[in-house]
Amino acid sequence: MRLFASYREAAGVGHIELELPAGATARDAIRAVLAEHPLVAEGRQLVIARNEEYVDVDAALEDGDELALIPPVSGGATRAATRIAVTSEPLSVDDCIEAVRADGYGGIVVFLGTVRDANRGKRVTKLGYEAYASMAERTMRGIAERLEREHAPACVAMRHRVGDLRVGEIAVIVAVAAPHRDAAFAAAREAIDELKSVVPIWKKEYTDDGAVWVEDHA
């Protein structure tokens, strides 16, 4: 079982080995974790992933499965050829545009999410982003492929940075190219909204009076 962000801090560990009986489900795995680390739940319904795919609590488990408890999510490699990526390196707007550009696409829409200097009435000094990187990229790729089908023809690039970011730095880029602007705008809006709601990336906000994991989607 892997734990991330606020769940990792609550448990004091990021990885737990579980031995469960044959026929066990994801619900049994959650109960085993909470028996040892009750602060992980914090009164919230838990979401779980099995082998980097979201599953419900009744999903059957097999020997060797990798599980992850997914906190509420908050809302890559930098080579132009890579349209979907989670990376610790600074993000490049030009690279994302090149990743989606094509002669047949007359409209390109780019969304940037940057670190702002204030939130909740407090001065923000930095943000720290953590990700279940392999699952995050797989989920982002699924979002992009679905939007490319729904708004076809279109091309979608999504990249998110992890690690500590200073005020003004770029945390996320979404770029969409399509023959016309309407499809590009619509796909870009859907992409960032879905990224911030379901992709397992978490944000820790540092202010003058401490730090807190942000579990809304602003």
Which tens digit of pLDDT belongs to each residue from 129-163?
A: 999 999 999 999 999 999 999 999 999 999 999 99
Task: State whether 143 and 115 are in the same domain.
Answer: yes
Give residue 20's domain range. Answer: 2-70
**Longest Cα separation, the chain:** 58
**pLDDT band, very low/low/confident/very high, at 76 (cuts 50, 70, 90):** very low
Whether residue 57 has pLDDT greater than 90:
no
Task: State whether 200 and 143 are in the same domain.
Answer: yes
Task: State whether 108 and 145 are in the same domain.
Answer: yes
Task: State whether 117 and 201 are in the same domain.
Answer: yes
Q: For residues 128 and 164, is the Cβ–Cβ distance under 8 A?
A: yes
Task: State whether 194 and 110 are in the same domain.
Answer: yes
What is the reported pLDDT for 54?
A: 87
* Distance of alpha carbon 76 from alpha carbon 71, whole angstroms: 21
CATH of the domain at 88: 3.90.1170.40
Q: For residues 110 and 175, is the Cβ–Cβ distance under 8 A?
A: yes
Task: State whether 117 and 157 are in the same domain.
Answer: yes
Last residue of a domain, one of 21, 40, 70: 70
When divided into structural domains, the chain yields a total of: 2
Query: Which of 152, 137, 131 has the alpha carbon at shortest distance from 82?
Result: 137
Task: State whether 97 and 19 are in the same domain.
Answer: no
Residue 77 lies in a domain: no
What is the reported pLDDT for 38?
A: 86
